[in-house]
Protein backbone atom coordinates (compact mmCIF):
# COMPACT_ATOMS: atom_id res chain seq x y z
CA UNK A 1 0.00 0.00 0.00
CA UNK A 2 1.37 3.41 -0.95
CA UNK A 3 1.56 6.24 1.55
CA UNK A 4 -1.01 8.16 -0.54
CA UNK A 5 -3.43 5.24 -0.24
CA UNK A 6 -2.82 5.11 3.52
CA UNK A 7 -3.68 8.79 3.92
CA UNK A 8 -6.73 8.51 1.66
CA UNK A 9 -7.95 5.52 3.64
CA UNK A 10 -7.85 7.70 6.75
CA UNK A 11 -9.96 10.38 5.04
CA UNK A 12 -12.41 7.68 3.95
CA UNK A 13 -12.46 6.18 7.45
CA UNK A 14 -13.31 9.61 8.86
CA UNK A 15 -16.16 10.02 6.37
CA UNK A 16 -17.67 6.66 7.32
CA UNK A 17 -17.22 7.33 11.04
CA UNK A 18 -18.90 10.72 10.65
CA UNK A 19 -22.02 9.10 9.20
CA UNK A 20 -22.04 6.35 11.84
CA UNK A 21 -21.83 8.94 14.65
CA UNK A 22 -24.45 11.20 13.05
CA UNK A 23 -22.20 14.27 13.17
CA UNK A 24 -22.74 15.46 9.59
CA UNK A 25 -22.36 14.52 5.96
CA UNK A 26 -20.27 11.64 4.61
CA UNK A 27 -17.07 13.60 4.13
CA UNK A 28 -13.61 13.40 5.68
CA UNK A 29 -10.26 15.02 5.01
CA UNK A 30 -6.70 14.86 6.26
CA UNK A 31 -3.74 17.15 5.76
CA UNK A 32 -0.27 15.68 5.56
CA UNK A 33 3.13 17.30 5.97
CA UNK A 34 6.43 15.43 5.84
CA UNK A 35 4.54 12.14 5.43
CA UNK A 36 2.64 12.65 8.70
CA UNK A 37 -1.01 13.51 9.24
CA UNK A 38 -1.04 16.89 10.96
CA UNK A 39 -4.78 17.57 10.83
CA UNK A 40 -8.11 15.87 10.29
CA UNK A 41 -11.53 17.19 9.45
CA UNK A 42 -15.03 15.85 9.05
CA UNK A 43 -18.21 17.50 7.84
CA UNK A 44 -19.75 19.30 10.83
CA UNK A 45 -22.35 21.41 9.02
CA UNK A 46 -25.34 20.10 10.97
CA UNK A 47 -23.62 19.37 14.27
CA UNK A 48 -22.04 22.86 14.44
CA UNK A 49 -24.85 24.72 12.63
CA UNK A 50 -22.14 26.04 10.31
CA UNK A 51 -22.63 25.82 6.53
CA UNK A 52 -18.88 26.37 6.05
CA UNK A 53 -17.86 23.44 8.27
CA UNK A 54 -17.08 21.08 5.40
CA UNK A 55 -14.43 18.44 6.02
CA UNK A 56 -11.77 20.19 3.94
CA UNK A 57 -12.35 23.57 5.60
CA UNK A 58 -12.28 22.01 9.08
CA UNK A 59 -9.03 20.19 8.20
CA UNK A 60 -7.48 23.38 6.81
CA UNK A 61 -8.41 25.31 9.96
CA UNK A 62 -6.94 22.57 12.14
CA UNK A 63 -3.74 22.34 10.08
CA UNK A 64 -3.17 26.09 10.09
CA UNK A 65 -3.67 26.18 13.85
CA UNK A 66 -1.27 23.25 14.27
CA UNK A 67 1.39 24.86 12.08
CA UNK A 68 0.83 28.43 13.27
CA UNK A 69 0.48 29.70 9.70
CA UNK A 70 -2.20 30.69 7.23
CA UNK A 71 -0.74 28.74 4.31
CA UNK A 72 -0.07 25.05 3.90
CA UNK A 73 3.16 25.08 1.92
CA UNK A 74 4.70 21.63 1.81
CA UNK A 75 1.38 19.96 2.64
CA UNK A 76 -0.99 17.65 0.84
CA UNK A 77 -4.75 17.38 1.38
CA UNK A 78 -6.65 14.13 1.04
CA UNK A 79 -10.42 14.40 0.73
CA UNK A 80 -12.90 11.56 0.67
CA UNK A 81 -14.74 13.42 -2.10
CA UNK A 82 -13.94 15.87 -4.88
CA UNK A 83 -14.24 19.26 -3.17
CA UNK A 84 -17.22 21.55 -3.63
CA UNK A 85 -16.60 25.07 -5.01
CA UNK A 86 -16.25 26.58 -1.52
CA UNK A 87 -13.75 23.96 -0.40
CA UNK A 88 -11.83 24.11 -3.64
CA UNK A 89 -11.51 27.88 -3.17
CA UNK A 90 -10.32 27.36 0.42
CA UNK A 91 -7.80 24.77 -0.75
CA UNK A 92 -6.41 27.13 -3.36
CA UNK A 93 -6.15 29.94 -0.76
CA UNK A 94 -4.38 27.58 1.67
CA UNK A 95 -1.86 26.68 -1.05
CA UNK A 96 -1.04 23.04 -0.34
CA UNK A 97 1.31 21.35 -2.79
CA UNK A 98 -1.16 18.63 -3.83
CA UNK A 99 -4.76 17.53 -3.50
CA UNK A 100 -6.08 13.98 -3.70
CA UNK A 101 -9.74 12.94 -3.69
CA UNK A 102 -11.73 9.68 -3.76
CA UNK A 103 -15.44 10.05 -4.61
CA UNK A 104 -16.35 12.34 -7.51
CA UNK A 105 -18.74 15.27 -7.54
CA UNK A 106 -21.04 13.06 -9.64
CA UNK A 107 -20.98 10.45 -6.86
CA UNK A 108 -21.95 13.20 -4.40
CA UNK A 109 -24.74 14.44 -6.67
CA UNK A 110 -26.23 10.94 -6.73
CA UNK A 111 -26.82 11.20 -2.95
CA UNK A 112 -28.20 14.76 -3.18
CA UNK A 113 -24.98 16.72 -2.58
CA UNK A 114 -25.11 18.47 -5.95
CA UNK A 115 -22.86 21.50 -6.36
CA UNK A 116 -23.56 21.95 -10.06
CA UNK A 117 -26.06 24.75 -9.35
CA UNK A 118 -23.24 26.80 -7.78
CA UNK A 119 -21.04 26.39 -10.84
CA UNK A 120 -24.00 27.43 -13.02
CA UNK A 121 -24.73 30.47 -10.84
CA UNK A 122 -21.11 31.65 -10.91
CA UNK A 123 -21.21 31.74 -14.69
CA UNK A 124 -24.20 34.12 -14.69
CA UNK A 125 -24.12 37.91 -14.42
CA UNK A 126 -25.21 39.12 -10.95
CA UNK A 127 -28.62 40.24 -12.22
CA UNK A 128 -29.47 36.74 -13.45
CA UNK A 129 -28.48 34.82 -10.31
CA UNK A 130 -30.99 33.33 -7.87
CA UNK A 131 -29.22 35.12 -5.01
CA UNK A 132 -30.06 38.79 -5.40
CA UNK A 133 -26.72 40.62 -5.40
CA UNK A 134 -26.58 44.41 -5.04
CA UNK A 135 -23.46 46.55 -4.79
CA UNK A 136 -23.56 49.35 -2.18
CA UNK A 137 -21.17 52.07 -0.95
CA UNK A 138 -18.12 51.15 -3.03
CA UNK A 139 -16.75 54.69 -2.72
CA UNK A 140 -16.66 54.28 1.06
CA UNK A 141 -15.46 50.70 1.07
CA UNK A 142 -12.54 51.38 -1.27
CA UNK A 143 -10.83 53.26 1.59
CA UNK A 144 -9.83 49.96 3.23
CA UNK A 145 -8.26 48.81 -0.04
CA UNK A 146 -6.32 52.05 -0.38
CA UNK A 147 -5.04 51.73 3.18
CA UNK A 148 -4.01 48.13 2.53
CA UNK A 149 -2.23 49.00 -0.69
CA UNK A 150 -0.25 51.80 0.96
CA UNK A 151 0.50 49.98 4.20
CA UNK A 152 4.07 48.97 4.96
CA UNK A 153 2.85 46.98 7.97
CA UNK A 154 1.03 44.07 6.30
CA UNK A 155 1.55 40.41 5.75
CA UNK A 156 0.75 39.64 2.15
CA UNK A 157 -0.91 36.41 1.19
> Residues with catalytic annotation?
56
Closest to 119 measured CA to CA, from 111, 129, 110, 127: 129
Closest to 77 measured CA to CA, from 114, 107, 149, 64: 64
Amino acid sequence: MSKQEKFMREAIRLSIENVNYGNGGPFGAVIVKDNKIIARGVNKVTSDNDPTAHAEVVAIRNACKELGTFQLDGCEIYSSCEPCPMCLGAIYWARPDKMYYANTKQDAAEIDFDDDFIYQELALPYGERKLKTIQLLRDEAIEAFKLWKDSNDKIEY
